[in-house]
Amino acid sequence: MPLVSMRQLLDEAALGSYGVGAFNVNNMEQIQAVMEVARETESPVIVQASRGARSYTNDRFLIHLMWAAAELYPEIPVALHQDHGNSPETCLSAIEQGFTSVMMDGSLLEDGKTPSDFEYNVRVTREVVERAHATGVTVEGELGTLGGIEDGHGSGEVHLTDPEQAVEFVERTGIDALAVAIGTSHGAYKFSKPPDGEVLAMNLIREIHERLPRTHLVMHGSSSVPPELVATINEFGGEMPPSWGVPVQEIQTGIEHGVRKINVDTDARLAMTGAIRRVLAEEPSEFDPRSYLKPARAAMKAVYAERMTQFGQAGHANDYEPKTLDQMRDTYSASIQD
């Protein structure tokens, strides 16, 4: 099965009332872990790469790894998504490389740090939508900004999404999915205490979904930062302070109200780092990368398996026949003519 459109994965998730995890990758072991768990749980899945990941891995290595994943796991519908594209050029280069979905994050200027204004966001996002839909590729946009900085991306400021403005943004851009800012943050240090309604505005998701019932919503910064993963890192030489992530129960509430894509990165990083630290601490003479990357891959698999089950995507890989990008292009074209 070739890499497929993220739009179809989200459309099917909406029909089945579940969410689809979007897992960030930087190397072969992460891709293997995601795909092996997708097979074991029979889950459709989104694999995503940030600009930093594309630079680290190199686009050609990354796309060939993903083509290999599609070849080795032909029964799994998998989309390759550009996470937080900072400009139309970044998104278009991803499409040229073979990505089947892109995020144009026009909530920030091209430096990936400075908050933009609404008209700028509409303009650059609309430009990407027009170019992407002409090839059948999905587009995610963002309105509002998240806290935290990851891979050098983020303003460090939180600006919550305005539900009324969200309606105008979707209408003027034609995006397939909308990332909403509800108080979440990138990275491991999201909250200094368990988040409640004062810091995590789940009511915004409900209100936006009521206004935009056909628009797929996206939760960024949705790692849960399990304390046992942090404890393992610290047990074997790490120095991570206590932190709280987004409770899975809150994500599940979001899924009930239109959230179809859930971004998870930090949890897998924590699992991988803890496993590597454990091996090197317990076996200080070890020098074979395979000796610590195998348990690292296994630790990530445990995280991915739990999330795919919790988000509800498990068991849905074979519910439908994936469409080609040409078919998606024709669908977009027909909607414009209508």
The candidate with the shortest Cα–Cα distance to 80, out of 107, 53, 119, is: 53
Contacts of 17 (CB under 8 A, 6+ apart): 255, 256, 312
Would strands 216-219 and 20-24 be described as parallel, antiparallel, or unpaired?
unpaired
Beta bridge partners of 261: 20, 218
- The neighbour count for residue 200, using CB atoms within 10 Å, is 21
Separation between Cα atoms, residue 322 and residue 88, nearest integer Å: 27
Separation between Cα atoms, residue 142 and residue 166, nearest integer Å: 9
Separation between Cα atoms, residue 308 and residue 316, nearest integer Å: 11
Structural contact between residues 328 and 7, judged by C-beta atoms closer than 8 angstroms: yes
117 catalytic? Reply is no
State the catalytic residue, choosing from 11, 59, 83, 265. Answer: 83
The candidate with the shortest Cα–Cα distance to 299, out of 281, 316, 279, 326, is: 279
Separation between Cα atoms, residue 22 and residue 48, nearest integer Å: 6
Separation between Cα atoms, residue 325 and residue 15, nearest integer Å: 20
Catalytic residues: 83
